[in-house]
Amino acid sequence: MESDKLSKFRKIAGELPADKREQLYARMKGMSREEAMKVVDRMVTIAEQRKIEITARPKVLAGHSAVSGSAGTDCEVRTPGSPVRPGSSVHPGSSVRKKIPDDRKIEIVKNPGPQASRPEVSGHEKHPVKKAAPAVARAGREQVARRIEQREIEAIEASLKKHKNAELAKKAVKVTLVCLGRFAATVLATLVIVLAGFYTFLGIIMKGPSPHLRDQFVPSVMESSAGGVLAKWILSDEEIEAIMNSNKTHEFNEITDITLVNAMAAEQNSRKLNAGASSVNELDPDGDGIEVHDVSGPMYHGKMLVIYDPSRVIVGTIDNYNHSGAGLTLKQLIDKYDGVGGINGGQYEDTNGMGIGGWPEGIVISGGELRMGNLGTEYEVYGLTKDNVLVVGRMTAQHALNIGVRDAVSFGPTLIVNGVAANYSGSGGGLNPRSAIGQREDGAVLLLVIEGRKTSSMGATMADLIDVMLEYGAVNAANLDGGMSSAMWYNDEELVSSSSIRVSRQMPTAFVILPEGSGSDAESGSAEG
């Protein structure tokens, strides 16, 4: 059966125009045997059906003048001009045969039926005669057949094209998936290699041959908001605690003795220097009562501001505290109080280093008013009294107000109290960005900010801060909030930039430097009244 169909298919294909036949064979070459046989079956079936439809149609064969009579026959064939005899008819099963030399002389007239008599009629009363045109009919049938064949070929071509497009789409999807898989595998392998290398690097630092390197690294990451996880990857909690205890600054049991500081001396000296036209202060060339110093060490660099008049230094704060609210940047806090400069202030809520500065922690006193904290609770208090003396130490909020603290925040640890530096073990802490406040014996306020977590400045330890403050004559000093919050602005210029990779950090408090001649003395006086 299969060979018979193939022979029929070859015959059908052989009757096609050469170009169509070549296109058909070309498309079938790319198909499987099963798909090719489906095309063969379809073309043979269509050809046979078309043949049956054409042969089943009523027709008049050229060269014949007889039509087989049947019950359904309602016409007869005769030559033009032959007389119609009365009573003549074509009965079922009978036929009329007559040689007709020309197909064009065939007439087909209506058969009135076997029972009816047909009287002779004249030529002009005859019914219109329909002449058959066999050659034209054959041409029409061939044209219809060609159209059908063309449509079938187009359908086959469309099917082949669709099949080809589907195969191409499958191949494209397969290639895409393979490429994506290889890319994902490459990325994953690279990530695994990087993580393995980083883990090995951490292991060498924290469990390698250099205890000094370990003691610098572990406190540095543990002091940051989110970096502590790096130490916990390698070390146990007990190991981390032991390293932190061997590198920390010890707390003081005393607070500032206010009588040791002459808060008015700096302001008086500043006025004397500015009063004489011939007198020039090389450390304050513009005469605004503020010195700017570069500070540096083996692993850090930063800036120190020396403010002669301590009454110009206040704590600026946002209006409303909210756990979900945002604070202000340092520049915004300075502008809020019309200040000329300042540094970041105290501690605030900063979970995983993602805080937005809307909620301070510890104590906040601004303008003599307790803005955050409970009167009976002890806090690390770092701020200035109404007599412009820097107070550092642990005390209750009520005690701070009793001794006249006008502006203060919390953080720690205390670095220097009453001229005595804090004791510390190891390096006193890790390498990180730092901020600190101090005061000299003559009353001048010291504001220090160290850059950190950069290739140009890794950061400073607590021991570094103590050394710098002692070098600049501090008799009282304390560490403030550091890390990504550490920043310093002066005269609309950012002298020390925050180490944050985002925009400037938002915070609830800052130490703001007021313009010369507009210190806090007037404010404190009005508060007392």
pLDDT of res. 290: 95
Shared domain for 241 and 288, answered yes or no, is no
Question: Is residue 121 one of the residues assigned to a domain?
Answer: no
What total number of domains does the chain contain? 3
Percent of the chain with pLDDT over 70: 76
Shared domain for 237 and 366, answered yes or no, is no
How far is the C-alpha of 445 from the C-alpha of 468, rounded, in Å? 14
The label of the residue with tokens 């002459």 reads 262
Least confident of 133-137, 446-450, 514-518: 133-137
Shared domain for 12 and 24, answered yes or no, is yes
pLDDT at 236 over 70: yes
Question: Is residue 154 one of the residues assigned to a domain?
Answer: yes
Token pair recorded at residue 366: 């601004």
How far is the C-alpha of 390 from the C-alpha of 307, rounded, in Å? 13
Shared domain for 236 and 266, answered yes or no, is no
Question: Is residue 375 one of the residues assigned to a domain?
Answer: yes
pLDDT of res. 358: 93
State how beta strands 420-421 and 474-479 pair: unpaired
Question: Is residue 86 one of the residues assigned to a domain?
Answer: no
Question: Is residue 126 one of the residues assigned to a domain?
Answer: no
Shared domain for 142 and 219, answered yes or no, is no
Shared domain for 201 and 307, answered yes or no, is no
pLDDT of res. 250: 84
Shared domain for 290 and 221, answered yes or no, is no
- Expressed as residue numbers, the domain containing 228 is 212-247
Q: Is 336 helix (H, G, I), strand (E, B) or coil?
A: helix
Q: The whole model's pTM is what?
A: 0.63
Shared domain for 448 and 484, answered yes or no, is yes
Give the sign of the dihedral formed by CA 504, CA 506, CA 511, CA 515: positive
Shared domain for 335 and 415, answered yes or no, is yes
pLDDT of res. 454: 86
pLDDT of res. 526: 36
How far is the C-alpha of 140 from the C-alpha of 30, rounded, in Å? 36
State how beta strands 493-496 and 488-490 pair: antiparallel
Question: Is residue 62 one of the residues assigned to a domain?
Answer: no
Which residues have C-beta within 8 Å of that of residue 402, sequence separation ≥ 6?
A: none
How far is the C-alpha of 27 from the C-alpha of 330, rounded, in Å? 75
User: What pLDDT, in 10s, does the model give residues 465-509?
Assistant: 999 999 999 999 999 998 889 999 999 999 998 765 657 889 999
Shared domain for 398 and 372, answered yes or no, is yes
Question: Is residue 65 one of the residues assigned to a domain?
Answer: no
Helix (H) or strand (E) holding 118: none
Question: Is residue 105 one of the residues assigned to a domain?
Answer: no
pLDDT of res. 397: 96
pLDDT of res. 33: 83
Shared domain for 185 and 324, answered yes or no, is no
Shared domain for 237 and 267, answered yes or no, is no
User: What pLDDT, in 10s, does the model give residues 103-155?
Assistant: 444 444 444 545 444 555 455 455 555 555 566 676 777 788 888 888 888 88
